[in-house]
Amino acid sequence: MTSTTNSHVTSDKSHKDHMGTAIKLAKYALDHGETPVACIFVHSITNKIVAYGMNDTNNSLTGIAHAEFMAIEQIKSRFPQDQVGFNQFCSDCIVYVTVEPCIMCASALKQLNLKKIYFGCGNDRFGGNGTVLSIHQDKSTLNHEGTLYEQESIPGLYRREAIMLLRYFYVKENKRSPNPRIKLERNLDKDNFPQINWSQYMSKNLFGQEFGLTNLSHFQTMDDLEEYKIIDWDLIDSHYDTLIDDLTKEINQFKLNEFKRIKI
């Protein structure tokens, strides 16, 4: 339970707002030559951002420098030599990531006892939260206490924007190849999106809880929610030069002792 004094430290941002921040960060990654995949970790009790990460595989030349690991490292740095504190803190975090975690990251997030993973689009080749494997429901992946639990996996937030950022990236990559396909940009598909098979990722019950019973028909038709059908082009075409500074400031404002005080 939380104390009555925490209202002033609780952010009123919605899940959509948080995913919007992750999408902006993915665009930042794209603008800096990276695969546009990014995440933020939000402390569920205060609803504040406590870590962020973006793909760094191209710059670091390390195949495992995924967004989720960057964020995990940021949290870890708050708990030098305090594994218990780190584990407890992770248990209270929610992840918002633009693309479904790969199998490696999904396994790490599950072991860290993260209860909820929101993501934009599925990861057709490596997805570990329902597309290729379902680590979130896997009965052999336990948390750090050796306990079995089912992690909630919730796709679809800004799914089309997440897909468009990946399409932009592949167009750029192809232009760098020895035989650039000049007309590719013109042919960039902005209208067609694959269906989303919600049941791969979540139960119908969870869908109803998250998105409301009035939206249940989308679960059957494998369609995006109405509010996510029209692409927010401003969101993915803008540049976010100050975003890293802003996020760093926000994260530094989150004081661990404050968090400890309100968590009774």
Catalogue the active-site residues.
68
Question: In the complex, what is the shortest distance from the CB of residue 153 to Zn ion, in angstroms, rounded to a whole number?
Answer: 14
Question: In the complex, what is the shortest distance from the CB of residue 99 to Zn ion, in angstroms, rounded to a whole number?
Answer: 9
Question: In the complex, what is the shortest distance from the CB of residue 133 to Zn ion, in angstroms, rounded to a whole number?
Answer: 12
Q: Which two tokens stand for residue 138?
A: 């896997």
Q: How far is CA 127 from CA 33, 82, 100, in A?
A: 23, 31, 6
| Binding footprint of Zn ion, residue count (CB under 5 A) | 3
Question: In the complex, what is the shortest distance from the CB of residue 103 to Zn ion, in angstroms, rounded to a whole number?
Answer: 8
Backbone angle region of 130, left / alpha / beta, with phi > 0 → left and psi within -120 to 50 → alpha: left
- Distance in angstroms (rounded) separating the CA atoms of residues 53 and 81: 22
SS3 (DSSP) at 20: helix
- Distance in angstroms (rounded) separating the CA atoms of residues 192 and 188: 10
Question: In the complex, what is the shortest distance from the CB of residue 105 to Zn ion, in angstroms, rounded to a whole number?
Answer: 3
The pattern of x and - marking residues 58 through 97 that bind Zn ion according to CB under 5 A reads --------x-------------------------------
Question: In the complex, what is the shortest distance from the CB of residue 147 to Zn ion, in angstroms, rounded to a whole number?
Answer: 23
Q: Rank residues 74 and 203 by Cβ distance to Zn ion and give the closer one.
A: 74
239, 211 Cβ separation under 8 angstroms: no
- Distance in angstroms (rounded) separating the CA atoms of residues 109 and 23: 20
- What is the number of alpha carbons within 13 Å of residue 95 lying toward its C-beta? 38
Q: Rank residues 121 and 231 by Cβ distance to Zn ion and give the closer one.
A: 121
Decide: is 136 part of the binding site for Zn ion (CB under 5 A): no
Q: Rank residues 66 and 218 by Cβ distance to Zn ion and give the closer one.
A: 66
Burial class (CB in 10 A: 0-12, 13-18, 19+), 149: middle
- Distance in angstroms (rounded) separating the CA atoms of residues 69 and 60: 13
- Distance in angstroms (rounded) separating the CA atoms of residues 162 and 164: 6
- Distance in angstroms (rounded) separating the CA atoms of residues 181 and 69: 34
The pattern of x and - marking residues 94 through 123 that bind Zn ion according to CB under 5 A reads --------x--x------------------
User: What is the binding site for Zn ion (CB under 5 A)?
Assistant: 66, 102, 105
